[in-house]
Amino acid sequence: MGLQEQYRKEAAELLSSGEVKLVIGYGEGTTADRRRPVFVRSAELVSRLVLDASGVANLSAYLVPEGLLSDGKKVAVFLKPDGVRSINILAAEAQLDPGQVVILGFDIEGGQPTPLPGRKASDYAPLIESLKGSGLSPELQAEADRLEQMGAAERFEYWKEQFSKCIKCYACRQVCPMCYCRRCIVDVNQPQWINTSSHTLGNFEWNIIRAFHLAGRCVACGGCDRSCPVNIPLRLINHRMAKEALDTFGHYAGESADQKPVLATFRQDDPETFIL
Amino acid sequence: MIYNPFPMRVISKREEAPGVRTLKIEFIKQEDHEFFKAHYKTGMFGLYGIYGEGESTFCVASPETRTDYIECTFRQSGRVTTTLANVDAGDIVTFRGPYGNRFPIEEFEGKNLLFIAGGIALPPTRSVIWSCLDQREKYGKVTIVYGARTVADLVYKHELEEWKQRDDVDLVLTVDPGGETPDWQDHVGFVPSVLEKVAPSPDNTIAVLCGPPIMIKFTLTALEKLGFTAENVYTTLENRMKCGVGKCGRCNVGSTYICKEGPVFTAAEVQQMPQHDL
Amino acid sequence: MTRILLNSRLDECLGAWRSAGFSVFAPVKRAELTRFDEVQKAAEMSLDIVMPERTIKDHFFLQTEPLIKYTITKQQIDTEEMVPPERKRVFFGVRPCDASGLDIDDPLFGWDYKDDYWFKRRDNSVIVTIACAKADDFCMCTSVGLAPDTAKGSDLMLHPLKDGRGWLVVPHTDRGKALLEPVAGMLQEEAAETAPVPSIPAKFDLERVTAWLASPESFESPLWREVSQRCIGCGSCTFLCPTCHCFDIQDEGDTYSGIRRKNWDSCSFAMFTMHTSGHNPRNTQSTRWRQRIMHKFNYYRGKFGVNSCSGCGRCTRQCPVDMGITETLQEISNLPK
Amino acid sequence: MSEPFEPKIVAFVCTYCTYAGADLAGTSRMKYAPNVRIVRLPCTGRISPMFILKALQKGADGVLVSGCHPGDCHFAQGNYHARRRWTVFRALLAFTGIPEERVKFSWVSAAEGAKFTELINGITDSIRALGPFEQYQELQKVIETQSTY
């Protein structure tokens, strides 16, 4: 029995036993290579669930907005390790109770989905530990290295061109499990910190501040990058922040549900070589 | 061009209630004033603004019979209204308008008028009230039912006093239970129940009703009980607006653009709209 | 006999249009994105694609348009209205769906109050479309009553030749005819066969859809919640749409000077209709999605007699969660009678 | 002949230490470069990275952020939190091409009037040498001009 069948069966059991009220998974998309999030509420409909190597989206983003978990009932979600890390962060930041999330875990190896046995976020601690410090894909790493080699002025020009494309559709924010603020800083207008206009300056401010707000929280699911309709390589900037958190503070986002957020804690001997 | 507002000078500012102020503003340029005088009819709205903060939509609270100035009454709540609340006489603000449709007050001639307002919704009603009172001879009996949460929240207190003194106006004031002061002489109770108690006759009567959605809902039921038909009840709607001229795409309720086809509707028209879009 | 423009003479044409005072815009791929930008040479253009990611709407209804510049001093407020430049422009290689989008939006921007920011640009631009030679799974112009070679909104239309040497040239408006004058010598008279337009099967029954949307039961239908469950509430479908026209007006600057701007806004955003009081008439994503569909295929149609959709399919093609108008309309079309 | 370039520097300082240090420099009649505009905040913990970006956008050529030495924070921990944030924010600035030399961080206590004087003079000199931060200011200029489309 393939993994898809196995998880369909498990989803059906979870639903019919009443353990979960909803299963969030992947379904057929508009084209053969696309998968779309599907919401299954009854055991009869589990055949809508599809699991293959195209299921890459981090579905944990659906748990917090519009109060999905506010009734205290459980929800089952198809998650890769990055999604499990998101659950840990959301739990650490008191946005959800990880006990309400049943994880149908999988990973993609060699173009095939492989099962991960853990059903609770805490089951994943050893796996997450082993992933610590895993980097970007070779192509993205090459692009990141190319950027690091540049001088500041050249790098500025690079991002200026990239950000000039931004249309402030906020797909990056909306798709991100970590962007759950009821009122985003860009929507705060007293004072209006970030220019809402999507000229290059406003785009610069927006993208820099969003990257900062994700520092040490991003799990590198790549959702922002994939959803950006104008193809800004947002993953590079978020990965750079994650690297800083790991290298300087030993912080790997989403290790556990009681991990302190990196910027909400400190050590007295944190490095400060740059401070005059 | 289309989004360029008229510069206006603040003549005076009046505190109406906690957080509620009235600005009286005048046109700086003669041609702008002429345009306003030629186009303004009671019920229309405008976008009041201040450079650096933006624009905010409220009704013109002054009547069409008094067009030397514009009065607007607003509650201080957002970015624009907070700044507008802090202007002083002589300061420059902006006005864009008048936009929207009007109360057909010619059609009200010869009829009795019943005005019902709740809280901060007296300003649009007051524009019609004065437009009719300034031509008092054209209309029959005039009854005004006005309620607010507390005595302090009643706006236009000096005008309420004036209407109270007049023999040709019947003023009924009420405050919500618990909102009365020890020396409060008028009604205590919600507008719909007070309305039923006062029981104005629906014969040959037009009702103008403005207030928060929940009050509108219950007052309409009360009016129906009293025998008013929805075609004879007028109200104004409000929604968030940015352009005021039917372009920016947010103020519609169902297919009806409040800015172009409103803000004045009969209750019958409002009942035709999808209620969950209000 | 028909008139032909050969690929090899396109550069000459561009030169002639520039000499006649036009700036030429065409799809250009830069920094991983194809959008319309000014070009000097044909080699800069990306014409061999289904469609650019961004529409030409961007050049008529700017994503951020300065309206009024203001300077505040103790004594007075100075304002300067920022009028759009009346620059003569040729848009070359426009897709028929994008061109139709402009045509669809004209009545809205002219509805009683004329929006000159739109019309000053419209009046000074010539739209040269190229009939589609290819389509993808997302294209749906045929489902909304248009076609891959529809002339709506085109001043001049080029039909690709079967042998790939160039295009058959067909003017559709006086503006299009006038644009041919400076390049008359570069065209040749020849009977040539045009490449077939791709066949795009209809994805839904538009008449059923619009009839249902206009019916009283549609507004409260549970369908809205079902089709929009996965919507994340970003604005990419609206911002990439050739007909979406909603905007916000914002003052940007500091206490002493700044600019009032007209910025794109989206009905998908929760803040779009939020009152200051906190009341929000469209407070869930499903009500916002309903507004988007209703606006395009019911309200707009009722006001201006045309659907506010030209079938480009970008809303689905670029949706982060593979949603879009097509699927919803298919669901509506498939409702039991 | 054009005027020699004088940099504009914005200093965000905490009121308990660095501001008091600046005060001490003043009352001790120590001279420091007049290029700095001091913005006083309750604590370095209150200094949002947004402030730094805004200062650069509004024409600052350099920014200084300064507060109490570790262990001296009036609110016990504010500067420790700030220090972490600065570390990350500096990396972000560097990655987006905003030169690190233009954004400086320091600890200056209420007793260090002399250090404050030296610091300001030093930063002013180094930023004067870098020249105006035109790259970023250019973005602001662009939005003030007429749209060309």
Write the DSSP assignment of B53-101 as a string of letters: TEEEEEE--S-TT--SSEEEEEE--SHHHHHHHT--TT-EEEEEEEES-
Contact B33, B113 (CB under 8 A): no
Q: Give the pLDDT of residue A172.
A: 96
Amino acid at B24: K
Say how many CA atoms lie within 13 Å of B35 toward its Cβ: 14
Is the sign of the CA dihedral B16, B21, B26, B31 positive or negative?
Answer: negative
* Chain C residues with CB-CB distance to D144 below 8 A: 69, 259
The first and second tokens of residue A32, run together, are 């053969």
* Contacts C–D by Cβ distance under 8 A: 24
Do residues B70 and B49 both lie within one domain? yes
Residue D58: predicted pLDDT: 86
* Residue C71: predicted pLDDT: 93
Give the pLDDT score at A16: 96
Kindly list the partner chains of chain B, i.e. chains with 3 or more CB atom pairs below 8 Å.
A, C
In the prediction, which pLDDT does D2 show?
Answer: 66
* pLDDT tens, residue by residue, B85-115: 999 999 999 999 899 999 999 999 999 999 9
A95-115: average pLDDT? 94
* pLDDT of D148: 62
Read off the tokens for B234. 């007028």
For A169-203, the pLDDT digits (tens) are 999 999 999 999 989 999 988 888 888 899 998 99
Look at residue B199 in the predicted model and tell me its pLDDT.
Answer: 84
d(CA B114, CA B201): 9
**pLDDT value for C85:** 86
Q: According to the model, what pLDDT value does residue B262 have? A: 85
- For C152-201, the DSSP string reads TT-SEEEEEBTTSSEEEEEE-SHHHHHHHGGGGGG-EEE--PBPPPPP--
Q: What are the CA-CA distances from residue D131 to residues C26, D4, D36, D125 (Å)?
A: 39, 10, 15, 10
Give the Cα separation of B156 and B50 in Å (integer): 24
Does A201 sit within 8 Å of D143, measured CB to CB?
A: yes
pLDDT tens-digit readout, B226-267: 999 999 999 999 889 999 999 999 999 999 999 999 899 999
* DSSP labels, D5-55: P---EEEEEETTTHHHHHHHHHHTT----TTEEEEEES-GGG--HHHHHHH
Residue with tokens 């503003």: B25
Which domains can be identified in chain D, with CATH numbers? 9-144 (3.40.50)
Interface of C with D in 83-142 (CB under 8 A): 84-85, 87, 121
Report d(CA C209, CA B140) in Å as an integer. 50
Cis peptide before A271 (omega within 30 of 0): no
Output the average pLDDT for chain D: 91
Q: Considering CB atoms only, which of A30, A197, A229 is closest to C138? A: A30
User: Which pLDDT score is estimated for C23?
Assistant: 95
User: For the segment A266-276, what is each residue's pLDDT rounded down to a tens digit?
Assistant: 999 898 888 88
- The ipTM (two decimal places) reads 0.92
Within an 8 Å CB–CB cutoff, is residue D141 touching chain C?
no
Residues B23 and B65 in one domain: yes
Per the prediction, chain C carries an average pLDDT of: 93
Type of residue numbered C78: D
Residue type, C226: E
Q: How many CB atoms lie within 10 A of CB B180?
A: 17
Establish if A132 touches chain D: CB-CB under 8 angstroms. Answer: no
On the question of pLDDT at D146 being above 70, the answer is: no
pLDDT computed for residue D138 by the predictor = 86
| Tokens matching residue D133 | 């931060």
Tokens encoding A6:
């196995």
Name the percent of chain B in helix, strand, coil, to the closest 5. Answer: 30, 30, 40
**Residue D147: band (very low, low, confident or very high) from pLDDT cuts 50, 70, 90:** low
Contact check, Cβ <8 Å, C326/A30: yes
Structural domain that includes position B224: 112-236
Closest of B112, B164, B116, B167 to residue B141, by C-alpha: B112
pLDDT over 60 at A147, yes or no: yes
The answer as to whether B253 is a domain residue is no
pLDDT digits (tens, 9 = 90+) for D4-25: 889 999 999 999 999 999 999 9
Q: How far is CA C8 from CA A36, B1, B55, C186, in A?
A: 44, 44, 53, 10
Measured at the alpha carbon of residue B122, what is the angle toward residues B121 and B128, in degrees to the nearest 5?
115
In this complex, do C295 and B252 lie within 8 Å of one another by their Cβ atoms? yes
- Closest Cα in chain C, distance from residue D143 (Å): 8
Distance from CA of D111 to the nearest CA of C (A): 36
Task: Write the pLDDT tens digit of every residue in A239-259.
Answer: 999 999 999 999 999 999 999
Q: Pick the residue with more confidence: A1 or C268?
A: C268
Q: For the segment C108-154, what is each residue's pLDDT rounded down to a tens digit? A: 999 999 999 999 999 999 999 999 999 999 999 999 999 999 999 99
Query: Can you give the pLDDT at residue B202?
Result: 92
Separation between Cα atoms, residue C10 and residue B47, nearest integer Å: 50
- Proportion of chain C above pLDDT 70, given as a percent: 100
pLDDT band at residue D149 under the 50/70/90 scheme:
low
What's the mean pLDDT in C192-211? 93
pLDDT at A1: 63
* Average pLDDT of span A37-45: 95
Only one residue has tokens 């607010």, namely B148
H or E element in which residue B259 lies: helix B258-261
The neighbour count for residue C251, using CB atoms within 10 Å, is 21
Cβ-nearest to C233 among A161, A174, A199: A174
Whether residue A191 is preceded by a cis peptide bond, meaning omega within 30 degrees of 0, is: yes
| Cross-chain residue pair C265–B248, CB shorter than 8 Å | yes
pTM: 0.93
pLDDT at position A68 is: 92
Phi and psi at residue D41, in whole multiples of 5°?
A: -130, 160
Chain A residues 104-133 within an 8 A CB cutoff of chain C: none
Structure tokens at A139: 């192509």
Q: What is the structure's pLDDT at B138?
A: 94
- Put simply, the answer to whether B82 touches A190 (Cβ < 8 Å) is yes
3-state secondary structure of D134: helix
**Pair of tokens at residue A227:** 């959803």
- DSSP symbol at A176: -
C-alpha dist (Å) from residue C35 to A49, B218, C39, C145: 36, 54, 11, 26
Closest CA to C118 of C182, C65, C195: C65
Q: Is the CB of residue C232 less than 8 Å from the CB of residue A174?
A: yes
**Strands lying side by side in the sheet with C89-94:** C33-38, C23-30, C89-94, C125-130, C156-160, C166-171, C2-6, C188-190
At B65, the pLDDT band (50, 70, 90 cuts) reads very high
Which residues of chain A make contact with B78, given a CB cutoff of 8 A?
Answer: 189-190
Among A90-99, A214-223, D137-146, the least confident range = D137-146
Q: Which residue of A has its CA nearest to D71?
A: A268
Residues C152-177: b if buried by 16+ CB within 10 A, e if exposed: bbbbbbbbbbeeeebbbbbbbeeebe
Pairing of strands A35-40, A20-28: antiparallel
The total domain count for chain B is: 2
| Bridge partners (DSSP) listed for residue C156 | C128, C171
Residues B70 and B132 in one domain: no
Provide the pLDDT for residue C1. 64
Contacts of B84 in chain A (CB under 8 A): none
Per the rule left: phi > 0, alpha: psi between -120 and 50, beta: everything else, A237 is alpha
> Mean of the pLDDT values across residues C50-69?
94
Identify the closest residue of chain A to D100 by CA–CA distance.
Answer: A152
Distances (CA, A) of A123 to A15, A251, B33: 22, 20, 73
What are the extents of the domains in chain C?
2-333
Domain boundaries along the sequence of chain A: 3-131, 138-251
Q: Are residues B89 and B177 in the same domain?
A: no
